[in-house]
A and B are shown apart, each in its own frame.
Chain A
Amino acid sequence: MCSPILEVSGLHTHYGASHILHGINFSIKAGECISLMGRNGMGKTTTIRSIFGLTPATRGRIRVLGNDVTTLSPHSIARMGLGLVPEGRQIFPDLSVKENLTMTARPGLDGSWAWTLERVLQTFPPLAARLSNMGNQLSGGEQQILSIARALMTNPQLLVLDEATEGLAPLVRKKIWSVIQQVKETGITTIIVDKDVDTQLKVSDKSIVLVKGRVAFSGDTSELVANPDVHIQHLSV
């Protein structure tokens, strides 16, 4: 049996004296699309930051493809096949669209180039039209697409989308969700964090619900949909 792409066990994370994550456990298999859900302040982004080493875990283990990455630096973790589309897009404003993409281009862990510049531009035509524009000359939606495309250029095993549709107009959000759906269909393992719970439930195969830094639900999304109590208790505003 092959190792899960990501395995998080007993994860505890603190921000100074504040204890944010209290022993989180979950694992993700290749090809799965996971929704990481919970109300504001429940620890979704902290979980992502801990996985990427941006806010190091204080206890517990994080394994990527069986390798312990808990104490590794963020750049080493990213090189193990993890791609992050961060909250707030964070594209490089003074680099052109092409430079934003080529800067991060590297083969996957198996040495293959599943995502090349050509494929990315074919998948996301709006970027092809604005290749020589600087990052800060793009609209919010285009910046978000660029942020997703930039992460794909690292040919990741696991793509994490943290609030990818936040702050965008409804029409643009719809576009971004269709882009996420496209990415999912390519077979990349994905974790989606978003405030749009309904769309998230439609897209994902499995769901994890966090409540006050603990896993309140972990299982098939269909199970969560069929269980309105969990939905109302932990996700409704």
Chain B
Amino acid sequence: MTHSRPLLTLLILIIAALTIFPVFGDEFYQELVIRLMIMGIFAMSLDLLIGYTGLVSFGHAAFFGLSGYMLAIITPETEAVSIWIALPFCLLVTALAALIIGWFSVRTSGIYFIMITLAFAQMFYYYFNENQYLGGSDGIFIFFKPTIFVGDIQILNLNNPQSFYYFVLTSLIGSYLVLSVILQAPFGQVIRGILANEKRTRALGFNTQHYKLVSFVIAGTLAGFAGFLEAAAGGIISPAHLGWHESGAIMMVVILGGMGTLYGPILGAFVMGFLQDYFQEIWSAHWLLLFGMFIIFVVLFLPKGIAGLFLQTINRKGNGK
């Protein structure tokens, strides 16, 4: 994965816009952008599976929701928990779940992979939905955001909306960079090889199941990171966060943004988020109708998503020179 000059410019512009946004944006939109940045991280994690490894997971929300529940479980009702305890705990549990689910799932392919990941996610959904200790279908509140202390010094107060905003922005940039490094490393080359031709990759001496499992665990853990942020941002986690609706919605974000690009899913999250907000404003009763029409338009006319449109535009400009 290489970054051309126009793409680098686009990324710098996006980061610059997001950095100065809290100065101008009101509180409502600031909160919305926080949610969209989290959705961007979640969508990138799924893109690693769909767009780079060729694994279409329909149960990716399981890791997103599971991590949120772990934050709820580890946060006491009367005080905040340290991020140094909460975050590793949430990520470790999610990674372990991804390892177990992935171990079974990567042995299948195509429609069977979709069904097995969906089945696992629904198992999680029903477990949390029926668990009265964890709030059942209503979910469970997280009364305090985690604290970030080094010794006695508070590095960042996540209760401050602006601090939380920049924490999520840094997480988004960090996640993008980590995934970029992974994809450029030999591991990334192999999983892209699997996407292009798994049999060929195997015949070249790579245990493709092993690589797919590692990719699944990385994607699950990153989805868990997004779930951790989501739970901290909203202060609540419910079974809806790990249901198939959530998995479907995030898959739509990836397809809309453009699979196999990393920045595409981030763009997809923002376009989908703002359009949702806009459609709800102009036709609140039937906004889903407008939204559905938009999705059909993108699928028909932009098969490579918004990122594809961007690439097409810069390629045309490049050829015109």
Chain A contacts to B: CB under 8 angstroms = 52, 54, 73-76, 78-79, 84, 86, 90, 92-96, 99, 102-104, 106, 132, 150-151, 154
> Across the interface, which residues of A come within 8 angstroms of B260, CB to CB?
94
> Which 5 pairs of residues, A with B, have the shortest CB-CB distance?
A78-B205, A103-B189, A74-B202, A92-B196, A79-B205
Determine if B202 and A75 form an interchain contact, defined as CB atoms under 8 angstroms apart. yes
For the complex, is B163 an interface residue (Cβ under 8 Å from A)?
A: no
Closest Cβ neighbor of A96 among chain B residues: B2
Determine if B195 and A94 form an interchain contact, defined as CB atoms under 8 angstroms apart. yes
For the complex, is B190 an interface residue (Cβ under 8 Å from A)?
A: yes
Determine if A95 and B205 form an interchain contact, defined as CB atoms under 8 angstroms apart. no
For the complex, is B193 an interface residue (Cβ under 8 Å from A)?
A: yes
> Across the interface, which residues of A come within 8 angstroms of B208, CB to CB?
75
> Across the interface, which residues of B come within 8 angstroms of A74, CB to CB?
199, 202-203
> Across the interface, which residues of B come within 8 angstroms of A76, CB to CB?
207
Q: In whole Å, how far is A116's beta carbon from the nearest beta carbon of chain B?
A: 15
Closest Cβ neighbor of B196 among chain A residues: A92
Determine if A93 and B196 form an interchain contact, defined as CB atoms under 8 angstroms apart. yes
Determine if B192 and A94 form an interchain contact, defined as CB atoms under 8 angstroms apart. yes
Closest Cβ neighbor of B199 among chain A residues: A54
Interface residues of B in 173-216 (CB under 8 A from A): 186, 189-190, 192-193, 195-197, 199-200, 202-208
Contact A75/B193 with A86-B200, A90-B200 known, Cβ cut-off 8 Å: no
The 8 Å CB contact of B192, one of A92, A151, A154, is A92
> Across the interface, which residues of B come within 8 angstroms of A90, CB to CB?
197, 200
Determine if A104 and B204 form an interchain contact, defined as CB atoms under 8 angstroms apart. yes
Determine if A94 and B196 form an interchain contact, defined as CB atoms under 8 angstroms apart. yes
Q: In whole Å, how far is B190's beta carbon from the nearest beta carbon of chain A?
A: 6
Determine if A75 and B206 form an interchain contact, defined as CB atoms under 8 angstroms apart. yes
> Across the interface, which residues of B come within 8 angstroms of A99, CB to CB?
189, 192
The 8 Å CB contact of B203, one of A84, A92, A96, is A84
Ordered by A's residue number, 6 sampled pairs between the chains whose C-beta atoms are within 8 Å are: A52-B203, A75-B203, A75-B204, A84-B204, A103-B193, A106-B205
Residue from B190, B197, B199, B203 having most chain A Cβ neighbours under 10 A: B203
Closest Cβ neighbor of A81 among chain B residues: B205
Contact A95/B193 with A74-B202, A90-B200, A102-B186 known, Cβ cut-off 8 Å: yes
Closest Cβ neighbor of A79 among chain B residues: B205
Q: In whole Å, how far is B262's beta carbon from the nearest beta carbon of chain A?
A: 14
Determine if A73 and B200 form an interchain contact, defined as CB atoms under 8 angstroms apart. no
Determine if B207 and A75 form an interchain contact, defined as CB atoms under 8 angstroms apart. yes
Closest Cβ neighbor of A98 among chain B residues: B189
Determine if A103 and B202 form an interchain contact, defined as CB atoms under 8 angstroms apart. no
Extra contacts besides A78-B204, A96-B2, A99-B189 (19): CB < 8 Å: A52-B203, A54-B199, A54-B203, A73-B202, A73-B207, A74-B199, A75-B202, A75-B206, A78-B202, A78-B205, A84-B204, A86-B203, A92-B196, A92-B200, A95-B196, A99-B192, A103-B193, A106-B205, A154-B205
